[in-house]
Amino acid sequence: MLNWRFIAVVAMVATDMVAATQAQSSRKPQSPVSLKDAYRNAFLIGVAINSPQIKGQDMGGDAIVERQFNSITPENVLKWEVVHPEPDVYNFDLSDQYVSFGEKRHMFVVGHCLVWHSQTPAWVFRDDKGDSLDRDALLKRMHDHIQTVVGRYKGRIQAWDVVNEALNENGTMRQSPWQKIIGDDYVEKAFQYAHEADPQAKLVYNDYNLENDQKRKGALVLITKLKAEGVPVDAVGLQGHDSMDWPSLEDEDTTIGAFASLGVKVIISELDIDLLPPATEHATADVSVHVEQDPKLNPYPKGLPESVQKELGKRYSDLFKVFLKHRGAVIRVTFWGLSDGDSWRNDWPVLGRTSYPLLFDRSDQPKLAFHAVLEAAGGKN
């Protein structure tokens, strides 16, 4: 069977070789050939990788990851349900391969994620009889999990998303099982445990929709409190599950500036841009939301018109110009998946849509948006 990813990479390398030869012969400076090089002096460029990519079952995809990116995040394999599916069972098979993948390629390796309400098995919150754990027992369980997972990769995973999505849309604390059983201070405990397990690792609070006023205010209060208490929080992850008109560039700018002014770094941690018709009334990345299939919600099953490709490129370019304005505060931009075919957006919030949120198409060809992001780096790096 033809391996389209492999063919795509060979084609890209060939194109770059031709470009390099032309540049040499005309003695013009060579234009940047990869995302990571274009942004080398601004911030890291990362990508979330999936199980086939980690296992080497998508060699074409892996070659693009290696060529274009200098940081990786595991899309799923370090989540609690995968790595710690039962009370006394840890499964490090895939996560070990994930960390080796990054080390072999000298990449900045991210861990995602330690404490979240989703993809955490129900047993975590119950005792042997099925009753709810008390605060001390759940804190012990959280401590042991963090100690075991972070401890295993001490010095090898450079940054951890410690707490994921602790806030409601109105900025109050989400009533997750963690919050209900332990109380609001589960957040600081998680950061303290992660710091104990690996004092060198950079620790991140990660959430979506922080560009919205109320939720941003809640996050600013939370981070201010953590910092005042001496809790080791190094950065805020703005997930960046964006659409064509949300967030506004002004809101993105304000949000990055607001967190930077608290003395934490900012990471765009899960970037993708949804151009399909909105299936929910308000922008969200809440994985529990499901919407019925409807052809009106899936307008491009056979391919994306050139005009829409251009709009996507413009949107990516505009956002990257905001990120670049905040270089120094923004330390990494990570895409949530490699190619359109890999994206969670194809099955959320509507199953089976044909989505186009990333920089590489379903045959792993760089899209117009890829070139727009490269060009946005300009000559300023």
* Residues forming the site for ligand G3I (CB under 6 A): 75-76, 118-119, 164, 239, 270, 285, 287, 344
Whether 81 sits among the annotated catalytic residues: the reply is: no
Q: Please report how close the Cβ of residue 345 comes to ligand G3I at its closest, in angstroms.
A: 8
Q: Please report how close the Cβ of residue 296 comes to ligand G3I at its closest, in angstroms.
A: 23
Q: Please report how close the Cβ of residue 111 comes to ligand G3I at its closest, in angstroms.
A: 12
Select 9 or 204, whichever has its Cβ closest to ligand G3I: 204
Q: Please report how close the Cβ of residue 85 comes to ligand G3I at its closest, in angstroms.
A: 11
Alpha helices in the chain (DSSP H): 4-25, 35-38, 51-55, 59-68, 80-83, 93-104, 135-152, 177-182, 186-197, 213-228, 249-260, 306-325, 368-376
How far are the Cα atoms of 87, 173, 314, 319, 366 from residue 18, in angstroms, in the given order? 56, 55, 27, 30, 17
Please classify residue 228 by burial: count the beta carbons closer than 10 Å to its beta carbon, then call 0-12 exposed, 13-18 middle and 19+ buried: exposed
Select 76 or 147, whichever has its Cβ closest to ligand G3I: 76
Please state, in angstroms and rounded to a whole number, the distance separating the CA atoms of residues 209 and 13. 37
Select 38 or 215, whichever has its Cβ closest to ligand G3I: 215
Plot region of 155 (φ>0 → left; ψ -120 to 50 → alpha; else → beta): left
CA-based R_g, the chain, Å: 21
Please state, in angstroms and rounded to a whole number, the distance separating the CA atoms of residues 138 and 213. 32
Q: Which two tokens stand for residue 72?
A: 């990786």
Among the listed residues 66, 75, 165, 252, the single catalytic one is 165
Contact 37, 67 (CB under 8 A): no
Select 118 or 158, whichever has its Cβ closest to ligand G3I: 118
Q: Please report how close the Cβ of residue 96 comes to ligand G3I at its closest, in angstroms.
A: 18
Please state, in angstroms and rounded to a whole number, the distance separating the CA atoms of residues 271 and 240. 4
Whether 270 sits among the annotated catalytic residues: the reply is: yes
Please state, in angstroms and rounded to a whole number, the distance separating the CA atoms of residues 38 and 41. 8
Select 12 or 266, whichever has its Cβ closest to ligand G3I: 266
- Residues labelled catalytic: 165, 270
